[in-house]
């Protein structure tokens, strides 16, 4: 009798175990480690880094959420021999020698570069912590939009020619092909919330590729969200009356916007060098037949028209932009080398450069305010200053220093980038409520961190390639 009772109890327990085992979710990514960085090499042999080595990206899969975060790594840009060749003293781009297999190993700089990427960040617990994260390394110097192989010649004639693959767009498309056609494509059939983001060049890459991402994933996505962190593509209309060589207008006095948009020389240069017209032409081809969208699109002003296009075409998506008003690093990339007579960093060049930045930042804000009134789906978060990394990027390293305590009108508020992201991810918060610009203060602009500490942090950033 006892033996029969034991057998009955054993059978009941076994049945319960089998029931609960069937109820547990299976690993949707068999062969990949959950919550670990797994390296993927796309099948597309055209997906390469600057040196021609195969492109690699990384995925940290989750079985806790079907939401997906696509993160574009930042790291500068380049467009000539000096910048692409890594000349000392010239801002360039990271990872030109390719992506090593251990790129995202525990505690590597890329793996802890942002609370979006570092799941166990000790200070910032973003709501994306349990999502599947796809990390796109940056190794082409073209903010993920290039479509060419360039040969750069040493202007001094001392070094061999530099062959540089600006294959950023092909790399992005290879990742999207893997998501939609690869062995794990089924997992991405239903993405309740998709967040596309990145910082610096990665922010620009997220913005410039959002159309392609949304088109590739299509109805698989429930709620699409774009967050461009400190990678602005400013509205800059290129008019026929502007001369072919804009440096002719760079006189001894500071350049004025009435002559031509401040960022137009840099935009012209990279469009030609990276051959982005072929990429943006794909967008134009895709919207042909839609007169309303075609009316918004102008290849002579990508910064304006792409913002308008994304806001109108993806009316249910949430589109946000963040940057610092005192962003010295990104401003240097888009102005310093293009205005050598105006921007002397040993004199008043920083003030001139940030003056250009402030004017174009305001034009971007004005555009977002207009789109908010029209479509109601855009917002921004613009703190004034942070005493490290030259006030560049709000979502890198940690949220410390991003607090806005007074808005542009001087009204008291209390919100940092963590709070902003929380509200951005909440569909019940209207996007037009998510527009914040910080009132400038002397304390933020001039301290409290001593200059030598700021210089040390900037040195470590430059040499460790934090961004």
143-163 pLDDT, tens digit per residue, is 999 999 999 999 999 999 999
Domain assignment of residue 118, yes or no = yes
Domain assignment of residue 210, yes or no = yes
For 40, 78, 285, 306, 310, the CA distances from 204, given in Å and listed in that order, are: 23, 14, 22, 12, 14
387 and 455 Cβ atoms separated by less than 8 Å: no
35 and 60 Cβ atoms separated by less than 8 Å: yes
Q: With H, G, I as helix, E, B as strand and everything else as coil, classify residue 5.
A: helix
Strands 38-40 and 68-72: unpaired
CA 303, CA 386: separation in Å to the nearest integer? 26
pLDDT at 246: 82
Which domain, by its residues, includes 161? 34-375
Smallest Cα–Cα separation from 425: which of 231, 222, 233? Answer: 222
Domain assignment of residue 157, yes or no = yes
For 82, 149, 153, 171, the CA distances from 163, given in Å and listed in that order, are: 13, 7, 9, 18
The burial of 452, by beta-carbon neighbours within 10 Å (0-12 exposed, 13-18 middle, 19 or more buried), is given as exposed
425 and 225 Cβ atoms separated by less than 8 Å: yes
Domain assignment of residue 429, yes or no = no
- Per-residue b/e over 223-239, b at no fewer than 16 CB within 10 Å? ebbbbbbbbbbbbbebe
pLDDT at 373: 96
Domain assignment of residue 440, yes or no = no
Domain assignment of residue 457, yes or no = no
pLDDT at 269: 96
pLDDT at 63: 95
Domain assignment of residue 385, yes or no = no
φ and ψ at residue 221, rounded to 5 degrees: -95, 130
Q: Is the dihedral of CA 415, 421, 422, 423 positive or negative?
A: positive
Query: What's the pTM value of the predicted model, to 2 decimals?
Result: 0.90
pLDDT at 5: 38
Measured in whole angstroms, the distance separating CA 240 from the mean position of its chain's CA atoms is: 31
Point out the residues of the chain with pLDDT beneath 70.
1-25, 247-254, 441-467
Number of domains comprising the chain: 1
Domain assignment of residue 446, yes or no = no
């Amino acid at each position: 009798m006892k033996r029969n009772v034991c057998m009955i109890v054993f059978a009941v327990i076994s049945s319960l175990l089998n029931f609960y085992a069937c109820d547990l979710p299976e690993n949707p990514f068999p062969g990949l480690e959950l919550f670990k960085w797994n390296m993927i090499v796309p099948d597309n042999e055209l997906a390469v880094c600057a040196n021609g080595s195969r492109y690699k990206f990384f995925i940290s899969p989750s079985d806790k959420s079907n939401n997906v975060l696509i993160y574009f790594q930042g790291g500068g840009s380049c467009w000539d021999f000096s910048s692409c060749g890594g000349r000392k003293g010239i801002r360039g781009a990271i990872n030109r020698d390719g992506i090593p297999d251990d790129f995202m190993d525990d505690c590597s700089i890329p793996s802890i570069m942002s609370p979006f990427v570092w799941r166990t960040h000790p200070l910032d617990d973003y709501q994306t912590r349990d999502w599947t994260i796809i990390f796109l390394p940056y190794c082409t110097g073209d903010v993920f939009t290039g479509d060419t192989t360039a040969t750069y010649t040493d202007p001094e004639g001392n070094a061999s020619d530099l062959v540089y693959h600006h294959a950023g767009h092909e790399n992005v498309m290879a990742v999207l092909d893997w998501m939609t056609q690869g062995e794990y494509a089924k997992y991405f059939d239903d993405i309740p919330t998709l967040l596309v983001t990145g910082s610096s060049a990665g922010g620009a890459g997220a913005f410039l590729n959002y159309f392609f991402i949304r088109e590739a994933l299509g109805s698989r996505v429930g709620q699409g969200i774009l967050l461009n962190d400190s990678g602005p593509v400013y509205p800059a209309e290129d008019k026929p009356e502007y001369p072919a060589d804009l440096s002719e207008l760079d006189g001894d006095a500071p350049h004025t916007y009435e002559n031509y948009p401040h960022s137009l020389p840099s935009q012209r240069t990279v469009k030609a060098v990276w051959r982005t017209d072929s990429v943006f032409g794909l967008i134009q081809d895709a919207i042909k037949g839609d007169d309303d969208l075609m009316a918004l699109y102008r290849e002579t002003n990508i910064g304006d028209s792409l913002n308008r296009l994304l806001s109108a075409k993806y009316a249910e998506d949430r589109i946000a932009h963040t940057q610092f008003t005192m962003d010295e690093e990104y401003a240097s990339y888009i102005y310093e080398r293009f205005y050598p007579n105006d921007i002397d960093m040993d004199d008043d060049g920083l003030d001139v450069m940030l003056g250009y930045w402030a004017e174009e930042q305001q034009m971007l804000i004005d555009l977002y305010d207009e789109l908010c009134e029209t479509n109601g789906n855009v917002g921004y978060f613009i703190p004034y200053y942070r005493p490290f990394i030259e006030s560049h990027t709000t979502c890198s390293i940690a949220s410390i220093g991003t607090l806005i305590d007074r808005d542009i009108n001087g009204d008291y508020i209390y919100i940092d980038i963590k709070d902003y992201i929380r509200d951005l991810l909440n569909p019940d918060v209207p996007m037009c409520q998510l527009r914040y610009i910080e009132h400038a203060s002397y304390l933020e602009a001039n301290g409290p961190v001593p200059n030598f500490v700021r210089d040390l942090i900037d040195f470590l950033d430059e040499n460790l390639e934090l961004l």
